Amino acid sequence: MSEDARPLKIRLEEKLSQFDDTWAPKIVARYNDNEVRLVKAEGEWVWHRHDETDELFLILQGEFDMDFRDSTVTVGPGELLLVPRGVEHRPAARRGQVRLLLIDPAGTPNTGDVVTATPAVEL
């Protein structure tokens, strides 16, 4: 088996312990043309949308709100939230720190706009 063909096992808690900054995605794996990202969140993020892709949020720890212009959806640990492309939203962690796993197409800016985004970096 070549080095590239080896299975990759990732300990999420170990990776999460390696950073403290919030709303700054960390790339922990890549597959096909996607990035698996970990994020710590506190407070509210910015209103934004992604015109080219849906957005996936898996809540690992904490309670997370997703504000939409007409409603708020609250999700907790072990729950998955999908935001359809083009839908304006604002992520928020209003009740303490939230830990998230995101899966995005490689290079997707976290605000939908490279000018205002916090770039995802390798961890």
DSSP per-residue codes, 33-70: TEEEEEEEEEEE---B--SS--EEEEEEES-EEEEETT
pTM over 0.75: yes
Is 58 in contact with 116 (CB distance < 8 Å)? no
Q: 38, exposed or middle or buried, with CB in 10 Å at 0-12, 13-18, 19+?
A: buried
Distances (CA, A) of 99 to 8, 61, 112: 21, 5, 20
If pLDDT is split at 50, 70 and 90, which confidence band does 113 have? confident
- pLDDT tens digits, 19-38: 999 999 999 999 999 999 99
18, 2, 20: which is closest to 10 by C-alpha? Answer: 18
Show the domains of the chain with their CATH numbers.
26-122 (2.60.120.10)
- pLDDT tens digits, 36-83: 999 999 999 999 999 999 999 999 999 999 999 999 999 999 999 999
Specify the DSSP element, H or E, that contains 16.
Answer: helix 12-16
